[in-house]
Amino acid sequence: MTNNADFRQQFVDFAIKQDVLRFGEFKTKAGRLSPYFFNTGLFNDGASLRALSGFYADAIQTSKLPFDMLFGPAYKGIILAAITALALSEKGQNVPYAYNRKEAKDHGEGGMTVGAPINGRVLIIDDVISAGTSVRESVEIIRAAGAIPAGAVIALDRQERGNGPRGSSSGTLSAAQEVSALHGIPVIAVATLDDIIRFLKQNSRESDKLEKIETYRREFGSASN
Residues serving a catalytic function are 105, 107
Phi, psi of 221 (to 5 degrees): -65, 150
User: In this structure, what is the dihedral angle of CA atoms 171, 172, 173, 178, given to the nearest 10 degrees?
Assistant: -30
**Phi-psi bin for 24: left (phi > 0), alpha (psi -120 to 50), beta?**
left
> Residue 34's closest CA among 42, 46, 26?
26
224: Cα separation from own chain's centroid: 19
Give me the amino acid identity at 17.
K
How many whole angstroms separate alpha carbon 53 and alpha carbon 107? 32
> Residue 190's closest CA among 45, 58, 69?
58
